Structure 1
Amino acid sequence: MPKGFLTHIKEKFGDGHYEGDEFGGAGGRDGSGLPSGAAGNFMFATGIECSYPTIDHGRTRRDLLAECGHYDRWQEDLQLVKDLGLKVLRYGLPYYTIHRAPGHYDWEFADQVMAEMQRLGITPILDLLHFGVPDWIGNFQNPELPVHFAEYAAAVARRYPWVRYYTPVNEIYVSARISAKDGVWNEQLRTDKGFITALKHLTAASIMATQQIAKVRPDCIIVQSESAEFTHELRAVRTPSIQIENKLRFLSLDLLYAHHPDAEVLTYLLDNGLTRKEYDWFMAGEPPGYQIMGNDYYGRNERIVLPNGEICTSMDVLGWYNITHEYYQRYLKPVMHTETNVFDAHEAPTWLWKQWVNILRMRKEGVPVLGFTWYSLIDQIDWDIALAQKVGKVNPCGLYDLDRKPRPVAEAYRMLLQEYGQITIVPHGELFEVTKQPATLKVEI
């Protein structure tokens, strides 16, 4: 009986474990092990909650960095990030305390934290505006906001030229809605015109800030964190206000990425204060830099409106995958899961794994998912009521509690990191290493 090809191979090269197979062949790595930080490595991250809106018509500032003890324990917090094995941190400098007046800055706290982050080898995604502005700017209704904020972004980029990843304005849509349509933060308006005014100012601020950052870092990577939302209406006859709300959730990204909204939304914009000249300005083209579409997803982002008008939180009916896939098809941008948590510490590990299943499914669809973020590192305060009142209730949603003791989700995240920490953004992602070349070409072909 003649020899088969396997016999010939065995005689020449041995019985498996062939030399060379370790380089991405049958003997290659499986992606396990803590994140390496190498270019192309999937970005596992956490964040430090840093919201600072005002309530009580500007009389009370909710600074979560202060309320959660970060100003006193920032070194300990950064070490927790390092010890967990994470290489990436969403971090917000307190804009309202740093930018003291036009051309005047207080860098004392920022310099200390940024130096330690650099020493520890942590890559920050630097969050420049997180739900509030300095008192001297006022609120999001101020048309000078884009100019003042661009000046601040330029100053940050010059002071920390080693930083490449930025979120210029966190959750533009949420910031504008809660401040100017829901009447909770900052200007505390409840009008459509106030909402559109805040939204256009914040989006313009993000665009102008990105231009200033790009002057210092032409290769800047912009992670635009935005809330992935949906309202399910269980009525035979739909309510127009709810239906347009499901379209308005795209509005900040439409203006940011120069994506023309549909006629109903455009009419709404023009009816509520956006001029044709302003609209044309937004549609001229998207901001500079490499753009990543970050989608924040909490179970409470999905709402069900019952026939009697009652609203209940649906917790994961569509989930991050289905909602974000809709955003991806609209904008065709690389994706990152930029925020998630639950307020029940015992449910948190299961929620973490559910989010990871969503990411794995998105990857199987061929969508480039660059990273995942459990938000936040430590517990938060009063986010169950969106910071509307200063109650002081601890929300046990962190990887660590306010005493910096690990919660069960910290161990679950460590297990996830050890299993998947060295996977690449897409298979053979090393081939497409993040380049230092400045961003230039913008195409949709």
Structure 2
Amino acid sequence: MKSQAGIFPTFFLSGFECSSFAWKDRGRRDLAAELQHYGHADEDYAMLPRLGIAVAREGIPWPLVERSPGQYDFSLIDDFLTAQRRHNVLPIWDLCHYGYPDGLDPYSDAFANRFAAYAQAAARYVAERAHHGPLCFTPVNEPTFWGYMGAEWAWCAPFGKSAEERRRFTLALARADIAAVKAIRADFPDARMVHIDPLIWVVHPRDRPDLAEEARRESYDDAYIAWDVISGLKRPEYGGSPETIDILGFNNYSFGQMEYQGGGKPNQPLQPGDARIRPLCDLLQEGWAKYKRPCIVAETSGLHGGRPDWLNDIVCESLAAVNRGVDLHGVCLFPAVDMTDWHTGKWLHMGIADVEALPNGTLMRKPFLPYVQMLQHWQERLHRPTTLDSDPFDKSVDLGEVIRAARQLDIAPDANWH
């Protein structure tokens, strides 16, 4: 198998929870602050190269940076930049992770214009302080999912409650995303964009075959509203293109395969053993084939003690997809440090590291050893380093080695991976 340069310096990536939404009953929230990530930035980043990870998704909280129109204070991320330089971790910057400034109408022309100006300012700020290229950004994180949670389920701003408003909001996010890409690339034409949304599968209830078309629409139409626009497949007047969407990021969790509920409420996750569950390999292949762009699994994690088995299943399905020709450049174990359930505030135990609250309120990081061991197992099988030297950027991942390993293992897709 000939060498084939990947996009990133390591095949396994990670990231940190960075939502900054206006939440339904809590007002503006900053999940990085709730995790104490600002204060633990050096410790959090120091963990990654010891695990063979040199790439991390990280957030710039737009509503906290732009507190008045056109006035930016990026000092909030300075400790992140310092830690990235010290520990040689390449960031993929989330520029809008479910949050926009107070008083800004997301359906107005000002929304796209202000987001583009902010994105350009953010790119300039991190470029001046970055230790290594390429510059990588996720302009709007999960625009399709944000459409549901913000404009149909009313979990967060803009607190919509209908499918019509959800589609309208998703289009507004896609339009703003395209404007941001153009603004960034006006200064940095080689910047890479990682566009991220959940990979889902929706089925109708067994006793409601009349809902089959609604379930199909959510799986094949609504799930791709934003990407269809950003890639230029739909609404070409917005200016999308394959180069704009650039890199596809498929988020995959156990609750991404669902039974359709309808009525403006979240669908019901399929339970383990349900015959309607599909192999992740199939879903990756379908999603990738629509756009034919390089891709990553941009978020994935199991819960509690199931994390090692989940990672094993995800890598097996990903390698099966590679054998079908999917241009896969990495798998992101998200989050690096645990996060809380947005609704209950309880720790989910889904990170590479869990947290333990000390009596003084400090959240101590504790890597979950079985998860780490499974990561090391797959790094060795894919001939990837389990720890990094002082210069992980001297060359990118040789995807030829990953493809060769996938062919040697010859893993069959498994519908029971769930």
The interval holding the TM-score normalised by the smaller chain is: 0.7 to 0.9
The equivalent of 1:274 in structure 2 is none
Match of 2:320 in 1: 361
Distance in 2, matches of 1:280 and 1:366, equals 28
Task: Specify the code of the residue in structure 1 equivalent to 2:224.
Answer: F
- Cα pair 1:220 1:289 within 8 Å, conserved: no
Residues 368, 426 of structure 1: 8 Å contact kept: no
- Cα distance in 2 for partners of 1:149, 1:40 equals 27
Equivalent-residue separation in structure 2 for 1:192 and 1:429 (angstroms) = 41
Q: Where does residue 413 of structure 2 map in the other structure?
A: none
Distance 1:111 1:40, change over 3 A: closer
- RMSD (Å) for aligned C-alpha atoms: 2.8
CA distance in 2, matches of 1:107, 1:326: 39
> Within 1, Cα distance between the matches of 2:108 and 2:81?
30
Q: CA deviation at 1:331?
A: 1.1
CA gap 1:41/1:312 in 2 versus in 1, 3 angstroms: closer
Q: Which letter does structure 1 place at the counterpart of 2:217?
A: I
**Residue matched to 2:122:** 156
What residue identity is the alignment partner of 2:59?
A: G
Residue aligned with 2:182, SS: helix
Instruction: Choose which of 41, 46, 51 in structure 1 pairs with 2:19.
Output: 51
Of 364, 371, 374, which aligns to 1:412? 374
C-alpha contact 1:363 1:426 (8 A) present in aligned 2: no
For 1:304 and 1:96, the matched residues in 2 are separated by 34
What is the number of residues matched between the two proteins? 368
| One-letter amino acid of the counterpart of residue 247, structure 2 | I
Distance 1:44 1:180 in 2: 33
Helix, strand or coil for the counterpart of 2:400? Answer: coil
Match of 1:185 among 130, 139, 156: 156
Sort the Cα spacing of 1:245 and 1:72 in 2 relative to 1 into closer, same or farther, 3 A.
Answer: same
1:426 aligns with 2:399: yes
TM score, norm. by length of structure 2: 0.81
The match for 1:295 is 250
CA drift of 1:115 comes to 2.7
| SS of aligned partner of 1:358 | helix
What one-letter code is carried by the residue in structure 2 that aligns with 1:77?
D
**Judging changes above 3 Å, is the alpha-carbon distance between structure 1 residues 141 and 40 closer, same or farther for their aligned structure 2 residues?**
closer
Matched, 1:86 2:53: yes
Residue-by-residue CA offset, 1:231-262 (whole Å, 9 max, x unaligned)? 112344334433322221111111111114xx
Judged with a 3 Å threshold, the aligned counterparts in structure 2 of structure 1 residues 323 and 395 are, in CA distance, closer, same or farther, namely same
Q: How does 1:220-231 map to 2 (within 5 A)?
A: 220-231=191-202
In the TM superposition, 1:112-123 aligns within 5 A as 112-123=79-90
Amino acid at match of 1:82: P
CA deviations 1:163-201 (Å, max 9, x no partner) are: 511111110100111100112111211123321221111
Quote how far apart the aligned CAs of 1:113 are. Answer: 1.4
More moved, 59-68 vs 214-223: 59-68
Q: Are 1:144 and 2:113 matched, yes or no?
A: no
CA contact (8 A) 1:300 1:315 kept: no
Distance in 2 between the 1:40 and 1:195 partners? Answer: 34
In structure 1, C-alpha distance between the alignment counterparts of 2:107 and 2:339, rounded to whole Å: 28
1:173 to 2:144 alignment: yes
Structure showing greater Rg: 1
Deviation by residue 1:130-187 (Cα, 9 ceiling, x = unmatched): 011122426x344421111111110011112245111111101001111001121112
Shift in Å at residue 289 of structure 1?
Answer: 5.4
Preserved CA contact (<8 Å) 1:299 1:342: yes
Structure 1 residue ranges (4+ consecutive) displaced by more than 4 angstroms after TM superposition: 37-42, 287-290, 422-425
CA gap of 1:142–1:177, structure 2 versus 1, over 3 A, is farther
Instruction: Answer yes or no: is the 8 Å Cα contact 1:207–1:287 preserved in 2.
Output: no
Mapping 1:219-298, distance limit 5 Å: 219-233=190-204, 234=206, 235-246=208-219, 247-260=221-234, 279-282=235-238, 284-286=239-241, 288=243, 291-298=246-253
Separation in 1 of the partners of 2:398 and 2:258? 31
- Tell me the alpha carbon deviations over residues 364-394 of structure 1, each in whole angstroms, 9 at most, x when there is no partner: 1122101110110111101xxxx2x3x3211
Aligned to 1:331: 291
Query: TM-score with structure 1 length normalisation?
Result: 0.76
Q: Is 1:399 the counterpart of 2:399 in the alignment?
A: no
Aligned-pair distance for 1:101?
Answer: 1.9
The 1:288/1:360 distance shift into structure 2, 3 A limit, reads closer
